[in-house]
Amino acid sequence: MSAEGSTSAATKTEKAALGETQTFFAQAIQQPTPVSAQPDAPRMASRFIAGNDRLSPTAQLEIYREQFWLRHVDALEEDFATIVRLLGHDAFHALAESYLEAYPPTAFSLRDLGADFVTFVSERAPYRDDPLLADCARLEWAFVDAFDARDAAPITAEAIAAVEEDAWTTATLHFHPSLQTLTLSHAAHDYRTAVRRGDDAARPAATRVHVAIYRGPETLQYVEIEPLACALLERLQRGEPLGSACESVAATVTDGGGAELLESKVAGWFQFWAASGWLTAIGV
Amino acid sequence: MGFRKRHAIPDLGVGVGFRVPHYEHVLTTHPAMDWFEVISENFMVRGGMPLANLEKLRSHYRVIPHGVSLSIGGPAPLDEHYLRRLKALVDIIDPPWFSDHLCWSGVAGVHLHDLLPLPFTREAIEHVSARVRQLQDFMQRPFALENVSSYLTFASSEMPEWEFLSEIAEKGDCGVLLDCNNIYVSSKNHGFDGETYIDAIDPARVVQMHLAGHTDKGAYLLDTHAAHVNDATWELFRRALRRTGPTSVLIEWDDEIPTWDVLAAEAAMARSMREELFGAVRPASARVPDAPAVTP
């Protein structure tokens, strides 16, 4: 037991208030450095913590500090397994530490721990220099959100059939809350699948891909979608009427013929969206 | 009249924690088990598979929600957003009680996701018991506080843990979830007698017990829920049962989770200990056929 392990008579008579105790405790265990190496922490630990014949107050507090980091880094490793694979365990640990220092956990559930991870790896050097990290983070977080998104029943064939022919232009489409579309700069979706299966996987090459992530009846699913379908879905999910959304997307086709191209595709996309359970209602 | 009788707290028999590796087995084969405990926060979600699984579980078993994030001893006011979501879940499950830990979990808006120990002081008793009353007023349902394992004690403590827990339960008028493993772990870490702890708790307030394993780290025991219940903890359980009479008990196994058969065998040990003391008591844990559907 070290010298700071014994509580002096002076500190015994001076009772620490509950709030003061908790503030010191919380600050000490959130530091990535051991309590013994934190400025003034061993002296403060001796003031608040009794210690025993096996462990000094600092060593006792260190148990909680280690658990804080283990628990939170483990949770991030689980949610961002592709980034662990890309960086390796030690480098991911360093990333997780930096993240937790920048974004301390504030939600009651560990489920929300990675809510700012996309922002962090997109903005913070050196992680921002590798856009694959942001791609993987966005993809992984989309799966987390899809897992427990609100439930909604898929639209029925009868509800689709009931929409009058001339109502489609101004109709708004409502989608399953789990559905998210992502535009990625790498085929991170295939890489994620390989990593989650435990397969060997080479770093994916840079290529622009559009992916939809959603919750099926039993499992989380993803599918690569066409660029124009992705653009249309994004507009429709924002509540834009079908006609105007199609016009806007058609106008982005730079070599002309956008309207005809959309017209030839939309019916097929619509059928796929309905069959996949993405569509839940049509507002007319 | 004691807390248990006043709130008609039933004896549910022997249960286990509902954990992911066993979901498929439990939800498809419905193995014999008196009841299940769920971690409340894992089901305080908007929808999807967690709530679908909970609904399937409830259609065959009694379910008790057990929280880890209430922070009843925390310095900040109780989190209203958390309480509303907890109440929504608890009202769906409609259990005879719900529980969380005698601890704190955060400060200044940061959630540390741990069951942190409190100093055993008069100040903390007043603080926590007032919040227990506030919680039960809001939830309109009996609440049980669980004693936690700890790895330190505070210089400011004015009494032993069993007095601290008893006084909070009395002043807050709540139940006690007596975790025999936590008593064992803390008794070894802090050098007190676990039997003294058991004997000091009002048996009429004990609505449930927990059993679990821990890990010996050399200079201290760590509450990992990653092993079999050890012999000394079984003996503390037997002693507590003699005082409480037939009381709901739950096996917790949260890390290095074994096969269902191993877990069920641990539950069978608890059941045989109950039967040894009380004979074949029929627990009030029959399935609830008319449970309302889960809606987020």
pLDDT tens, position by position, B110-158: 999 999 999 999 999 999 999 999 999 999 999 999 999 999 999 999 9
Of B112, B119, B296, nearest to A26 by CB-CB distance is B112
β pairing state of B215-216 and B110-116: unpaired
Answer yes or no: are the C-beta atoms of B160 and B121 closer than 8 Å.
Answer: no
Set of chain B residues whose Cβ sits within 8 Å of the Cβ of A106: 109-111
Answer yes or no: are the C-beta atoms of B107 and B185 closer than 8 Å.
Answer: no
| Cα distance between residue A81 and residue A242, in whole Å | 38
Of B74, B152, B156, nearest to A16 by CB-CB distance is B156
Residue among B38, B131, B154 with most chain A CBs within 10 A, to mutate: B154
* Cβ-proximal residues to B6 (8 Å cutoff; 6+ apart), any chain: none
Which pLDDT score is estimated for B280?
Answer: 85
Q: In percent, how much of chain A has pLDDT > 70?
A: 95
Q: What is the mean pLDDT of residues A116-127?
A: 98
Residue A12 pLDDT > 50: no
Number of H helices, E strands in chain B: 10, 12
Which pLDDT score is estimated for A10?
Answer: 37
Q: Does B220 touch chain A (CB under 8 A)?
A: yes
The residue count of chain A comes to: 284
pLDDT class of A68 with cuts at 50, 70, 90: very high
Please tell me which residue of chain A has the smallest CA distance to B221: A63
| Cα distance between residue A172 and residue A278, in whole Å | 14
Which pLDDT score is estimated for A11?
Answer: 43
Is A216 in a helix, a strand, or coil?
Answer: coil
Segments of chain B with pLDDT less than 50: 288-292, 295-296
Which pLDDT score is estimated for A223?
Answer: 97
Residue B165: both structure tokens together: 């827990």
Q: Which of A109, A85, A206 is nearest to B82 (CA)?
A: A109
Backbone φ/ψ region at B195: left (φ over 0), alpha (ψ -120 to 50), beta: alpha
Residue B154 DSSP class: B
Give residues 19 to 78 of B whose Cβ lies within 8 Å of A.
41-42, 44-51, 69, 74-75
Is A260 in a helix, a strand, or coil?
Answer: helix
Q: What is the mean pLDDT of residues A58-80?
A: 98
B153 min Cα distance to partner chain A (Å): 6
Answer yes or no: are the C-beta atoms of B201 and B176 closer than 8 Å.
Answer: yes
Q: Which of A5, A88, A111 is nearest to B219 (CA)?
A: A5
Does ipTM come in above 0.90? yes
Q: What is the mean pLDDT of residues A45-55?
A: 96
A54 min Cα distance to partner chain B (Å): 6
A231 min Cα distance to partner chain B (Å): 26
Q: Which of B41, B118, B123 is nearest to B79 (CA)?
A: B41
| Cα distance between residue A61 and residue A2, in whole Å | 14
| Cα distance between residue B71 and residue B114, in whole Å | 9
* Cβ-proximal residues to B236 (8 Å cutoff; 6+ apart), any chain: B180, B183, B184, B194, B195, B198
Residue B63 pairs in a beta bridge with B36
- Minimum mean pLDDT among A36-45, A75-84, A252-261: which range? A252-261
Q: Helix A57-79 to helix A18-29 angle, to the nearest 10 degrees?
A: 60
Which pLDDT score is estimated for A5?
Answer: 40
* Interface contact A149-B48, CB threshold 8 A: yes
Give residues 97 to 156 of B whose Cβ lies within 8 Å of A.
104, 106-114, 116, 118-119, 121, 123-124, 127, 151-156
Residue A34 burial (CB count, 10 A): 15
Of B110, B113, B155, nearest to A48 by CB-CB distance is B155
Please tell me which residue of chain B has the smallest CA distance to A66: B114
A258 min Cα distance to partner chain B (Å): 38
pLDDT class of A112 with cuts at 50, 70, 90: very high
